[in-house]
Amino acid sequence: MGADNDGGTESGDYAVRMEGITKRFPGVVANDDVDFAIERGSVHALVGENGAGKTTLMNVLYGLYEPTEGTLVVDGIERTFGSPRDAIDAGIGMIHQHFMLIPPMTVAENLVLGEEPTKFFGLMTDEERAIAETRELADRYGFDIDPTEQVHEISVGEQQRLEILKALYRGADILILDEPTAVLTPQEVESLFDIFDELVADGKTIIFITHKLGEALRAADEISVLRDGKLVGTVDTAETTREELATMMVGREVLLDVGRTAVDLGETTLAVEDLEVDDDRGVRAVDGVSFSVANGEIFGIAGVDGNGQSELVEAITGLRPANSGRILLDGADVTDNTRRERIAAGMSYIAEDRQRRSLVLNYDLRRNALLGTQRLPGFADGGFVDWDHTGEYTDAIIDEYDVRPPDPTTSARSLSGGNQQKFVVGRELERDPSLVVASQPTRGVDIGSIEFVHNRLLDLKTEGVGLLLVSSKLEEVQRLSDRMAIMYDGRFMDVVDPDEVTEAEIGLLMAGEYPEGDDE
């Protein structure tokens, strides 16, 4: 049975009812008089832009925050949670986006941590019983996981199953999952949704936070949309579309299927030859990677985070030394050039970590607009910064990329994460580059801004700029790229035509396996 469009809670067998929930922080109303209900034994998706209040609302339900106002009813009983322990005791479990596991410990040890079965009058942990209970629980839900393996030895998908088992072991009947598919391959996503089916069949209730509308439509019975801390509505999945959900999220119609256009490729702008790079621990992260990007081409790199993409990008952009190999920009060897020299040569870089790599948070937007170009013609004259030109450049970025608040004297720190990202994207794309290295360019921005950034990348492609796109969003890479590499364990598994490869084949490559019939 679908919920009312206004999130009403007058009828239905609800596992959770949140009525008039308001959560205020200093200067911010994160949740504003939200009425939210979840039917027992269902899968409910919670969607909205970044900063819409989704995670805050679920943190209230899990006891991490106490609501400023409002009532929480769980299984028909009004509750007040002072901590997650209270929520767990009420049968609520939460699986966070970043897993709470201890890598050197085994699966079984992580499962029972804090609630270990004991022997010898409670003096010792009963390890055999812990293993047996882990195996029994895993078998009950069809989880293929070895209780004796150490967590650092199992896959990301298995780690997520372990987090779900931890909640079930502690008696959870209501499970909250925050962005559960963010680091999974397509096959692991499908496996997770199969797990949802098993859990619901066992009487569990599932709430998952997501920004992926296709996955919400695939897995949920109902979808609730938050915007600016308010509940816009709750809809039956069978009676809505991606376009309708997107409009609810941003308050206007959004073009979701921005697609690439064919253009004539120019000369090679970036060539990477047999590149080898180590990570911060001295372990080989990029192992003999070679590829090229032409003017007017978007070359995409997909893969689960942590397979060498970050180190590859940092080596290309001058933030990490290469052990061996060459990097050529417009035919010139820039392998040993500084970051500033690469900017002067025409390389722009949208960094995946905007706060660490792209902004000085205490600087105002004018000074942040100047970063990397403060010695280049136009921005400097006789060794002095041309602040008039810099101010005009900053104003143009703010206006074109809808950065809020539209004040060049405000500090970068005071901007929301989404507005920080829009400012960085604008600064890098407006430098008249010959090559743009875009790493997670839409991370932390709303769906309307994603549309704008995608269109701007496609505009640059049409203008003959070469683009290297690295993203953990498979759909983003596949939709925009002319060619697409799948990276696993520091190597390119394959370079494919996005139109000629299936999602299942990409998923196998992302997991380090070749589709049947393919040779390495």
CA–CA separation, 303 and 495 (whole Å): 12
Give the distance from CA 388 to its chain's centroid.
37
User: At CB < 8 A and 24+ separation, what contacts does 504-513 make?
Assistant: 504/186, 504/187, 506/186, 506/302, 506/474, 506/478, 507/185, 507/186, 507/187, 507/188, 508/187, 510/185, 510/186, 510/302, 510/303, 510/304, 510/474, 510/486, 511/155, 511/185, 511/187, 511/188, 511/304, 512/488
CA–CA separation, 251 and 477 (whole Å): 26
Let me know whether 66 and 215 are in one domain.
Answer: yes
212 domain residue, yes or no: yes
pLDDT of residue 8: 41
β-pairing verdict for 28-39 and 14-25? antiparallel
400 domain residue, yes or no: no
Rounded to 5 degrees, φ, ψ at 9 are: -130, 35
Under 8 Å between Cβ of 107 and 146: yes
Let me know whether 284 and 191 are in one domain.
Answer: no
Give the number of other Cβ atoms within 10 Å of residue 176's Cβ: 28
CATH number at residue 502: 3.40.50.300
261 domain residue, yes or no: no
pLDDT of residue 251: 80
CA–CA separation, 507 and 184 (whole Å): 9
Q: In what order do the strands lie in the sheet with 77-79?
A: 28-39, 14-25, 69-74, 77-79
418 domain residue, yes or no: no
Give the type of residue at 215. Answer: E
391 domain residue, yes or no: no
393 domain residue, yes or no: no
CA–CA separation, 341 and 94 (whole Å): 47
Let me know whether 191 and 318 are in one domain.
Answer: no
Let me know whether 147 and 279 are in one domain.
Answer: no
Let me know whether 246 and 325 are in one domain.
Answer: no
* Whole-prediction pTM: 0.77
β-pairing verdict for 466-470 and 284-294? unpaired
CA–CA separation, 92 and 108 (whole Å): 21
**Looking at the 3D structure of the chain, how many domains does it have?**
3
410 domain residue, yes or no: no
Let me know whether 438 and 324 are in one domain.
Answer: yes
> CB under 8 Å to 363, separation ≥6 — which residues?
371, 411, 412
Domain end among 226, 254, 282:
254
373 domain residue, yes or no: no
Q: Which two tokens stand for residue 308?
A: 């060498």
Q: Helix, strand, coil shares of the chain as percentages rounded to 5?
A: 35, 25, 40
Domain of residue 53: give its range: 1-91+173-254
**Ordered per-residue pLDDT tens for the chain, 520 residues:** 334 444 443 445 899 999 999 999 888 899 999 999 999 999 999 998 777 889 999 999 999 999 999 999 999 999 999 999 999 999 999 998 888 899 999 999 999 998 888 787 667 778 899 999 999 999 988 888 999 999 999 888 899 999 999 999 999 999 999 989 877 888 889 999 999 999 999 999 999 998 888 899 999 999 999 998 999 999 999 999 989 998 898 887 766 666 666 677 889 999 999 999 999 999 999 999 999 999 999 999 999 888 999 999 999 999 999 999 999 999 999 999 999 999 999 999 999 888 888 999 999 999 999 998 888 888 888 779 999 999 999 999 999 988 988 999 999 998 877 788 889 999 999 989 999 999 999 876 777 778 888 989 999 999 999 999 999 888 899 999 999 999 999 999 999 999 999 988 999 999 899 987 665 5
DSSP state of 3: P
State the virtual CA torsion across 472, 184, 208, 250 in degrees, nearest 10: 20
Let me know whether 82 and 19 are in one domain.
Answer: yes
CA–CA separation, 465 and 296 (whole Å): 5
Domain end among 155, 172, 189:
172
Let me know whether 18 and 142 are in one domain.
Answer: no
Domain end among 172, 199, 214:
172
Cis omega (within 30 of 0) for bond into 405: yes
CA–CA separation, 176 and 168 (whole Å): 12
Let me know whether 309 and 249 are in one domain.
Answer: no
Let me know whether 82 and 104 are in one domain.
Answer: no
Let me know whether 146 and 10 are in one domain.
Answer: no
Give the type of residue at 352. Answer: E
Let me know whether 134 and 207 are in one domain.
Answer: no
